């Protein structure tokens, strides 16, 4: 099933055409009748603004443009990783995809259904197809409920019957014991709690799991166990992940496609092996260069001194006109064109798109950060 | 005479289930100008070590051993004397800059406070010095920001302010506990470089506490790997990275996802989980999760064994591991537990 869906979409098809070149008819022409061809998730021109509390009586309240037009398509079996720093809009995007908030503009379509056009009852029923795993395994489980009830909660919301067996199956799938259903969250370690959260997400047999930083609160050795589990579940239950992470190695490990988010827009997208080997956006390169490598010789600060300053006061969200590239203020390669004209996301190679006027020049440079042969594996 | 000498430091904390050994004989020395990293996972004792050095252990903690800082014994030092050392001779940077700063005071006032307190500067002189320090930590447009409140700054800018406060009185030792964990990765690099540059320029000693191997590689000369309240491996950073000796250190390296690994690669995991301090076995704390453990490992805590000059590991199986003995499977019941 997943293979066929991907066949229809050859490499690169998941990348939207440049915004200017796209028109609505192209979108509506997409076949929606046969389930085989319906993408798992389609996000179109998603915009989300938050209105902040008014600071001055006579001025309009400030507005944060968390998402400024994000489009992508996910097919079953092709997990997508979203990377970016805080404030880039990653978690806002997750909330729109989960239909926890209404977007300011744009559409989120899951298996052909526009989530924001559904009635509350329809939405509740549709939720069986998409579930979420949160970052904090301590805050996301109700301490006063037994694990069995926590895991069964998505079923209860749908009025499902055979809850007990489903809970046992779900706990078993994440490597916990059926008897753990009788225990309380505080009896479990951080890694085990994240397994409980994953069991809760799995219980409705979802097609899509949105995971927002699922391992970043865990210790390194436990993180590896949970990443391996997520990988197993991908194969065993044919779930597809929309994985949000600031850690590009985690995304590379689990995802078949990566989108780099900056200031509410996708600035680069492609398969991880292509994107990380020949990053075409200076921001992606800055992200990769910033990951401290365990092999870099000490005191190589001369090189990192070129890393663009990030908290230098040029807050990217304060670009009211935003006619230029949002990254221009931090970009080591900025030219006059960058502040005058916003680069659109465009294909730079098969299955690889970037929003930079000089993407071809940037991707021709040698790769940054850890490359595959750099680190010795430990058996 | 080293600047800081920690000798057989032991800390016991009372818990509802009885006393727990949080530190089980930690020893290391730190020379002036040297940078040392304490690395390990939660509960390994790395933050506990930092707290003990700063005299910030909980009141109920019982300690033994010795912590000598420039010929002063810090263990058992009264609060007033410790307070005089903290801030003046020992600077501290914590993980979360927002909790380290007072939200009600301007950052200029907060950076000036240690200068007035410890150095007796006048308000004007302290303010001028605060501005110089904020420039030094590369806070953008520092002069305009002197009268800003912490909430008006970004996370990275706040951490710069905290570093300026820690450096205000020119300490000999800077203790930084996970200083970049709450920050974005691009900002993390800048803050680490800033700390590294300042330590080098001022000839300070640095004790950096972190769980991140990459952070250590970038910042410190010498590495102490902690597990279960003791230092299980110690040596120059490059040597430890080059010759991973202790099975736990090997496990930590193997568990990291790596960029560019082939599709479908399984991560090497460390079976089981970090033991509760109160449940630590009497012998090697890692024995229950170790594929090379033998009966002798569980009998007594292993002594430090030299791997190469200046590089030691507390493991009695180093020779067998180096000879290529394959790890035996660790009990599956334990493997399930995480």
- For residue A369, what pLDDT band results from cuts at 50, 70 and 90? low
Cα–Cα distance between A15 and A268 in angstroms, integer? 10
**CB contacts, 8 Å: B241 with chain A:** 294-295
Listed range (A84-93, A174-183, A185-194, B255-264) with the worst mean pLDDT: B255-264
pLDDT at position A217 is 81
Predicted local distance difference test score (pLDDT) of residue A2: 39
Residue A23 contacts B, CB cutoff 8 Å = no
Q: Which residue has the higher pLDDT, A267 or A248?
A: A267
Chain A stretch 70-109, residues whose beta carbon is closer than 8 A to a beta carbon of chain B: 85-86
Q: How much of chain A, in percent, has pLDDT values that exceed 90?
A: 46
In this predicted structure, what is the pLDDT of residue A9?
A: 39
Question: What is the DSSP secondary-structure string of A25-69?
Answer: HHHHTS--SSGGGS-SEEEEEEEEEEEPPPSSTTSPPPEEEEEEE
Which residue, chain included where needed, has tokens 């061809």? A37
The bridge status of strand A80-83 relative to strand A240-245 is parallel
Rounded distance between C-alpha atoms, residue A103 and residue A65, angstroms: 11
The model's confidence at residue A26, banded by pLDDT at 50, 70 and 90, is very low
pTM confidence score: 0.81
Tell whether the torsion through CA atoms of A52, A55, A57 and A58 is positive or negative: negative
Interface-testing mutation among B260, B271, B274, B292, with chain A (most A C-beta atoms within 10 A)? B260
Average pLDDT value for residue range A109-134? 92
Tokens encoding B24: 């089980």
Query: Residue B281's pLDDT is what?
Result: 83
Q: Which two tokens stand for residue A236?
A: 């065993």
| Residue-level pLDDT at A378 | 36
Strands, E assignment, chain B? 4-15, 18-30, 35-39, 62-69, 72-73, 90-93, 173-177, 205-210, 222-227, 230-236, 305-308, 311-313
Residue in B187, B217, B250 closest to A378 by CB: B250
Q: Please say if the pLDDT value at position A21 is more than 60.
A: no
pLDDT confidence tier of residue A52, bands split at 50, 70 and 90: confident
Q: Closest approach of chain A CAs to the CA of B255, in angstroms?
A: 5
How many angstroms separate the CA of residue B137 from the nearest CA in chain A?
Answer: 12
Which of A227, A307, A377 minimises the CB distance to B186? A307
Q: Which two tokens stand for residue A37?
A: 């061809």
pLDDT of A296 reads: 46
Give the pLDDT mean for A172-195. 90
A 196-235 residues inside an 8 A Cβ radius of B: 219-225, 227-228, 231
| Residue A322 pLDDT grade (very low, low, confident, very high; cuts 50, 70, 90) | low
> Which of B 222-251 lie inside 8 A of A, CB atoms?
237-238, 241, 244, 250-251
Q: Does A378 touch chain B (CB under 8 A)?
A: yes
**Would you state the structure tokens that stand for residue B313, as one six-digit string?**
């590991």
Residues A221, B260: Cα–Cα separation, whole Å: 20
In this structure, what is the dihedral angle of CA atoms A222, A227, A233, A238, given to the nearest 10 degrees?
Answer: 170
Q: How confident is the model at residue A311, as a pLDDT?
A: 46
pLDDT in tens, A217-247: 888 888 888 999 999 999 899 999 999 988 8
Q: What is the pLDDT of residue A159?
A: 67
The answer to whether the complex's ipTM is over 0.85 is no
- Are residues A224 and B269, on separate chains, in Cβ contact within 8 Å? yes
Cα separation values, B247 from B189, B251, B326, Å:
29, 6, 12
Across chain B, which has 338 residues, the per-10-residue mean pLDDT values are 93 89 93 93 89 90 94 90 90 86 93 91 94 90 90 88 91 92 81 89 93 88 94 95 92 86 83 78 90 93 94 95 89 44
Q: Do B187 and A189 touch (CB under 8 A)?
A: no
Residue among B190, B215, B255 minimizing CB distance to A309: B190
- What are the pLDDT digits (tens) for A333-348? 889 999 889 999 999 9
For residue A184, pLDDT beyond 90: yes
Sheet-wide strand order for A113-114: A63-74, A41-51, A105-110, A113-114
A273 contacts chain B (CB < 8 A): yes
pLDDT for res A318:
46
């Amino acid at each position: 099933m997943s293979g066929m869906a991907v066949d229809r979409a050859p490499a690169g098809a998941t990348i939207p055409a440049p915004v200017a070149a796209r028109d609505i008819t192209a979108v509506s022409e997409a076949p929606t009748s046969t389930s085989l061809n319906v993408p798992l998730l389609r996000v179109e021109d998603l915009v989300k603004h938050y209105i902040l509390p008014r600071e001055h009586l006579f001025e309009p309240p400030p507005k944060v443009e968390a998402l400024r037009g994000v489009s992508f398509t996910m097919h079953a079996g092709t997990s997508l990783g979203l990377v970016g720093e805080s404030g880039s809009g990653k978690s806002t995007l997750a909330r729109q995809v989960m239909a926890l908030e209404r977007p300011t503009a744009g559409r989120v379509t899951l298996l052909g259904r526009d989530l924001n056009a559904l009635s509350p009852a329809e939405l509740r029923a549709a939720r069986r197809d998409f579930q979420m795993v949160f970052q904090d395994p301590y805050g996301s489980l109700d301490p006063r409920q037994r694990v069995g009830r926590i895991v069964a909660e998505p079923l209860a919301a749908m009025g499902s019957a055979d809850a007990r067996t489903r809970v046992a199956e779900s706990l078993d799938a994440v490597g916990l014991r059926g008897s753990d259903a009788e225990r309380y969250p505080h009896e479990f370690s951080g890694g085990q709690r994240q397994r409980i959260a994953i069991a809760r997400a799995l219980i409705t047999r979802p097609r899509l799991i949105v995971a927002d930083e699922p391992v970043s609160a865990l210790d390194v050795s436990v993180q590896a166990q949970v990443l391996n589990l997520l990988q197993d579940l991908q194969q065993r239950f044919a779930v597809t992940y929309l994985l949000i992470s600031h850690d590009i190695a985690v995304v590379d490990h689990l995802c078949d496609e990566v989108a780099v988010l900056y200031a509410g827009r996708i600035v680069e997208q492609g398969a991880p092996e292509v994107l990380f080997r020949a990053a075409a956006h200076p921001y992606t390169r800055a992200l990769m260069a910033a990951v401290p490598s365990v092999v870099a010789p000490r005191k190589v600060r001369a090189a990192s001194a070129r890393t663009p300053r990030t908290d230098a006061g040029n807050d990217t969200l304060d670009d009211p006109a935003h006619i230029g590239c949002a990254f221009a203020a931090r970009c080591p390669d900025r030219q006059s064109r960058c502040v005058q004209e916003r680069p659109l996301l465009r294909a730079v190679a098969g299955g690889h798109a970037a929003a930079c006027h000089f993407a071809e020049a940037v991707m021709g440079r040698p790769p940054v950060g850890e490359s595959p042969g750099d680190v010795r594996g430990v058996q | 005479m080293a600047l800081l000498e920690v000798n057989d430091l032991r800390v016991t904390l009372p818990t509802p289930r009885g006393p727990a050994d949080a530190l089980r004989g930690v020893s290391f020395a730190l020379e002036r100008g040297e940078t040392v990293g304490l690395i390990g996972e939660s509960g390994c004792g790395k933050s506990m070590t930092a707290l003990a050095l700063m005299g910030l252990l909980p009141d109920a903690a019982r300690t033994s051993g010795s912590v000598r800082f420039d010929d002063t014994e810090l263990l058992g030092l009264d609060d007033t004397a410790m307070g005089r050392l903290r801030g003046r001779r020992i600077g501290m940077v914590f993980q979360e800059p927002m909790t380290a700063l007072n939200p009600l005071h301007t950052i200029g006032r907060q950076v000036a406070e240690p200068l007035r307190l410890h150095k007796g500067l006048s308000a004007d002189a302290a303010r001028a010095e605060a501005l110089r320090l904020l420039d030094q930590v590369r806070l953008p447009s520092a002069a305009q920001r002197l009268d800003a409140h912490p909430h008006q700054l970004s996370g990275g800018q706040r951490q710069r302010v905290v570093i300026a406060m820690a450096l205000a009185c020119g300490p000999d030792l800077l203790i930084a506990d996970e200083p970049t964990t709450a920050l974005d990765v691009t900002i993390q690099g800048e803050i680490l470089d800033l700390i590294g540059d300042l330590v080098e320029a001022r000839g300070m000693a640095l004790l950096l506490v972190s769980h991140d191997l990459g952070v250590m590689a970038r910042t410190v000369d010498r590495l102490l790997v902690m597990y279960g309240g003791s230092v299980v491996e110690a040596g120059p950073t490059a040597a430890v990275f080059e010759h991973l000796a202790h099975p736990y250190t090997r496990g930590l390296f193997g568990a990291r996802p790596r960029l560019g690994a082939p599709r479908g690669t399984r991560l090497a995991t460390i079976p089981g989980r970090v033991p509760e301090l109160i449940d630590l076995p009497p012998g090697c704390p890692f024995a229950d999760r170790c594929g090379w453990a033998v009966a002798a490992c569980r009998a007594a805590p292993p002594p430090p064994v030299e791997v190469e000059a200046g590089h030691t590991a507390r493991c009695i199986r180093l020779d067998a591991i180096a000879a290529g003995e394959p790890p035996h499977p660790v009990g599956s019941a334990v493997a399930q537990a995480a």
